[in-house]
Chain A
């Protein structure tokens, strides 16, 4: 099983600050997904990246897929308390089976 490592594990920041979280592996992926899980809820898909070097934006969130398709980053500009949650990256090894990373738990303090 390919391992997806996310860093940092935990992040606590003040409202308005910027942050970047990372998803790394030694393997090449055909696509990679980012999910956000709010406390007490299930993960919700944010974005899928499929092309090396691809950048996708979702309001204040910017997702980038590494050129070699082995890693990805999520940058949040001017974080808001509503951004609080667990951020998970995930890949599919085929046949619809998705493996999730270890997650980054983000807390944005008002």
Chain B
């Protein structure tokens, strides 16, 4: 079975531009998570979905960030407008929702905002 798929793997954009990151979770997983990883703050949870419904978006840094999950096999994380401080690696993960909350991560998208 394919793992979590993310695209693009690398994104370089200029400040003020819109950025859209994409994720395809593992088939059959009911939970999808978006994380951001930086050297300073480590791995931070931004938002997660259960059965395509956003459950907790308390980690979304500000209104410039939005996430959607239109169906069970696709999610997007959008930043508009982007700022240099948004530069980070963004991970998508999915989980089958079993007892111990084990998560399966994608390879990440490295975002650089200049």
Contact = CB atoms under 8 A, between A and B. Distances in A.
Interface of A: 31, 33, 40-45, 48, 50, 88, 92, 95-103
B50 A96 contact: yes
B108 A88 contact: no
Nearest to A103: B42
Interface of B: 4, 31, 33, 42-43, 45, 48, 50, 55-56, 91, 93, 95, 97, 100-108
Given A41-B108, A42-B106, A97-B56, A92 B101 contact: yes
A92 B105 contact: no
Q: Is the interface of A mostly helix, strand, loop or mixed?
A: loop
A102 B40 CA distance: 10
A100 B101 CA distance: 12
B100 A48 contact: yes
B102 A100 contact: no
B100 A50 contact: yes
Q: Is the interface of B mostly helix, strand, loop or mixed?
A: strand
Those 3 A-B pairs whose CB atoms lie nearest each other, nearest first: A42-B105, A92-B101, A100-B43
A88 B105 CA distance: 13
A43 B3 CA distance: 12
B101 to A, nearest CB: 4
B42 A100 contact: yes
Nearest to B104: A45
Contacts of B4: 42
Contacts of A96: 31, 48, 50, 55, 95, 97, 101
B10 to A, nearest CB: 10
A100 B48 CA distance: 15
A97 B95 CA distance: 11
Contacts of A50: 100
A25 B102 CA distance: 20
B45 A98 contact: yes
B43 A43 contact: yes
Contacts of A98: 33, 45, 101, 103
Given A43-B43, A102-B42, A31 B48 contact: no
